[in-house]
A and B are shown apart, each in its own frame.
Chain A
Amino acid sequence: MGITRDEVAHLARLARMSVTDAELDALAPQLEAILSAVARVAEVAAADIPPTSHAVPLTNVFRPDVARPSLSAADALAGAPAAEDGRFRVPRILDPDE
């Protein structure tokens, strides 16, 4: 199964990551090589094998429902790229015409 330069560009868009033409030129053949190395998983895993998502499965993990200290607003905002009035300041999230 191949992976084209256009597909890589599409995947990068899905991952919200700009890529340059030079990066696309390098990534497409590298991903192609990786995919051909990993495609072997299809050889062995049959329909009757259940999938494993977690090696040491745990279910219904709860902690007691009690209040405990948490980060202060100042601590939470200390590493923010931009903050204003005790909140994260972010670039606009809507199109200006909407």
Chain B
Amino acid sequence: MTDHPTSPVSRPAVPTTGAAVPTAGAAQGDVTRLTAAATAAAIAAGELSAVEATRAALERIAKVDDTVHAFLHVDAEGALAAAGRIDQRRAAGEPLGPLAGVPLALKDVLATRGMPTTCGSRILEGWQAPYDATVVTRLRAADVVLLGKVNMDEFAMGSSTENSAYGPTRNPWDTTRIPGGSSGGSAAAVAAFEAPLAIGTDTGGSIRQPAAVCGLVGVKPTYGAVSRYGLVAFSSSLDQAGPLARTVTDAALLHAAIAGHDPLDSTSVDVPVPSVVAAAARRDVRGVRVGVVRELSGEGYDPGVQAAFAAAVDTLTDLGAEIVEVSCPHFTYAMPAYYLIAPSECSSNLARFDAMRFGLRIGDDGQAGAEEVMSRTREAGFGPEVKRRIILGTYALSSGYYDAYYGQAQKVRTLISRDFAAAYEQVDVLISPTTPTPAFPIGAKVDDPVAMYLSDLCTIPSNLAGGPAMSLPVGLTDGLPVGLQIMAPTFADDRLYLVGGALEAALDDRRGHPLLDEAPAL
């Protein structure tokens, strides 16, 4: 497959980026191919109803999700009811938000009233949260239509979505391959046109890596920009929710909808949300200083990934950006530091799954004591990767090893932040490939945790230092998408959208169509 669109339907006669109102009745084309911006514009113009958009998404899910397995729970009734209310309010002339009526897939790690929240784990099978996460509250307030909950690696631990207790999700580009993880269901749903938007979470790359291998735009906002209230914690100092979308503008619209200070999360920062939507539309990177990170290249990086990345760097040069090579010497220690810090925080956070207040309880026969019930429940309820990380974290935090492992990892975290600070004295943004390789076959790394962990080599530094980062699609290698990562200083999330928007527009122009048009029909 090279440059010929093989999509099952013709592209709608509406802009795929930007918020222009479609001219020729959007409802006549395939609504599921519309961007979020175009869907919202068509609904605002009265050319499409929210119910029609929702029904189209639900029909698409019914058609392809047996193959893709992105969804763990589809709330057709709730979604159609919400869409109906939005249509009524539009008809009554009430003002609606910029994403009103747009369907969305929600990662199953966010507490959601009226739907299960499983975190991809047996230990929470069938559990319903008694409250909404702040991200969910904001989406509902923005009149976004929640289609349901999507698959993920158990408790967001993994890079392939193979660690879900409910079976793997498949990559829509090649259904024998992984969709990335841990937000693999979010990425697969958007890439398979089941939803124009999805929410993921990113602790070490769990939004950006799935976005990269599924040919999408994915953003980890600055730590603290999006509330973690109701986001089931894996590694509290690293976890951050963010958007997955087919275009930079769509990601910006979703970013703007969910970001902002929340008194319910004490780590939420009280600073204004950067103007990400305006930045996405600017399309001008003349004079922007772009640093290519020397340490995130070379050995272990797939030649096809390197070639697509190099071509994108050339495009940025053509657009007038100033390309500089930058060294961040401690980035090579980011993966080791991460796999001490994240398991340590995980072993503490997952102590709450104690079989007492919610979720699974095994072995409560009236004789067994609480500790025995707890131990048997955790054995039955957690999968292998979660067990590995709980034990690893317990080890790294135990007296005698604490200084050598957790303490040292926290010092490396300081050194990585200093590398970023030094780099941003020279450049405005940093770039690298998002992942060293394209999507690998399902099962290829499932028994080799260290090989799996290398998927996150390029994405982890931003989690450790807190800065925002985006992955956007820049090409294909052997028919599989390649992502480019843009990193920016904390609170400068708009720079991601400025550079990403310009690069996306140039690449789409050159190609003549969005990359996702080249995905095979499902």
Residues of A within 8 A of B (CB): 1, 3, 7-8, 11-20, 23, 26-27, 30-31, 33-35, 37-46, 49-56, 58, 61, 63, 71, 75-76, 78-82, 88, 90-95
The segment out of B28-36, B301-309, B400-408, B469-477 that lies at the interface is B400-408
**Beta-carbon contact of A45 and B370 below 8 Å:** no
Residues of A within 8 A of B104 (CB): none
**Beta-carbon contact of A16 and B354 below 8 Å:** yes
**Beta-carbon contact of B357 and A88 below 8 Å:** yes
B66 within 8 Å of A (CB atoms):
no
CB distance from A53 to the nearest CB of B (A): 6
Q: Could you name 21 residue pairs across A and B whose Cβ atoms are closer than 8 Å?
A: A3-B395, A12-B391, A15-B378, A15-B390, A16-B354, A20-B379, A23-B384, A27-B391, A33-B450, A39-B336, A41-B412, A44-B411, A45-B414, A46-B411, A49-B411, A51-B407, A52-B411, A61-B266, A88-B356, A90-B370, A91-B373
**Beta-carbon contact of A56 and B358 below 8 Å:** no
**Beta-carbon contact of B267 and A54 below 8 Å:** yes
CB distance from A15 to the nearest CB of B (A): 5
**Beta-carbon contact of B453 and A78 below 8 Å:** no
Q: Which 10 A-B pairs have the closest CB atoms?
A: A55-B466, A45-B411, A51-B410, A81-B361, A18-B379, A75-B130, A52-B413, A38-B336, A79-B358, A41-B408
B310 within 8 Å of A (CB atoms):
no
- The interface centre, meaning the residue of B224, B269, B357, B368 with most chain A CB atoms within 10 A of its CB, is B357
B300 within 8 Å of A (CB atoms):
no
**Beta-carbon contact of A92 and B369 below 8 Å:** yes
Given A79-B358, A91-B373, are A51 and B387 neighbors across the interface (CB < 8 Å)?
A: no
Residue of B nearest to A62 (CB): B266
Complex: A49 Cα to B394 Cα, angstroms: 24
| B 272-296 binary contact with A (CB < 8 Å = 1; else 0) | 0000000000000000000000000
**Beta-carbon contact of B369 and A45 below 8 Å:** no
Complex: A41 Cα to B394 Cα, angstroms: 18
Complex: A14 Cα to B129 Cα, angstroms: 28
**Beta-carbon contact of B392 and A55 below 8 Å:** no
Option from B222, B384, B411 in Cβ contact (under 8 Å) with A51: B411
Given A18-B379, A33-B450, A55-B465, are A38 and B340 neighbors across the interface (CB < 8 Å)?
A: yes
CB distance from B469 to the nearest CB of A (A): 12
B359 within 8 Å of A (CB atoms):
yes
**Beta-carbon contact of A41 and B405 below 8 Å:** yes
**Beta-carbon contact of A34 and B347 below 8 Å:** no
B263 within 8 Å of A (CB atoms):
yes
Residues of B within 8 A of A8 (CB): 391
Complex: A51 Cα to B279 Cα, angstroms: 35
Option from B351, B356, B375, B449 in Cβ contact (under 8 Å) with A33: B449
**Beta-carbon contact of A27 and B405 below 8 Å:** no
B445 within 8 Å of A (CB atoms):
no
Given A31-B392, A51-B410, A91-B369, are A17 and B379 neighbors across the interface (CB < 8 Å)?
A: yes
Complex: A55 Cα to B337 Cα, angstroms: 14
Option from B267, B374, B387, B467 in Cβ contact (under 8 Å) with A19: B387
Complex: A9 Cα to B385 Cα, angstroms: 16
Complex: A81 Cα to B382 Cα, angstroms: 17
Complex: A44 Cα to B398 Cα, angstroms: 22
**Beta-carbon contact of B415 and A45 below 8 Å:** yes
What class of interface size applies to chain B in its complex with A? Answer: 35 or more
Give me 5 other A-B pairs in contact (C-beta within 8 A), A44-B333, A51-B410, A82-B361 excluded: A33-B450, A38-B335, A41-B408, A56-B223, A71-B131
CB distance from B489 to the nearest CB of A (A): 11
Residues of B within 8 A of A (CB): 127-131, 222-224, 237-238, 263, 266-267, 269, 330, 333, 335-337, 339-340, 347, 351, 354-361, 364, 368-376, 378-379, 382, 384, 387-388, 390-392, 394-395, 398, 404-405, 407-415, 417, 449-450, 453, 463-467, 490
Residues of A within 8 A of B131 (CB): 71, 75
Residues of A within 8 A of B335 (CB): 37-38
**Beta-carbon contact of B364 and A56 below 8 Å:** no
Given A18-B379, A41-B333, A53-B410, are A31 and B415 neighbors across the interface (CB < 8 Å)?
A: no
Given A54-B267, A93-B369, are A31 and B339 neighbors across the interface (CB < 8 Å)?
A: no
Residues of B within 8 A of A53 (CB): 237, 410
Residues of B within 8 A of A78 (CB): 128, 130
CB distance from A68 to the nearest CB of B (A): 10
Residues of A within 8 A of B371 (CB): 16
Option from A40, A81, A91, A92 in Cβ contact (under 8 Å) with B358: A81
Option from B237, B333, B347, B387 in Cβ contact (under 8 Å) with A55: B237
CB distance from B137 to the nearest CB of A (A): 13
**Beta-carbon contact of A45 and B405 below 8 Å:** no
CB distance from B308 to the nearest CB of A (A): 28
Given A27-B387, A41-B409, are A52 and B417 neighbors across the interface (CB < 8 Å)?
A: yes
Residue of B nearest to A43 (CB): B333
Complex: A25 Cα to B269 Cα, angstroms: 45
Residues of B within 8 A of A81 (CB): 355-356, 358-361, 364
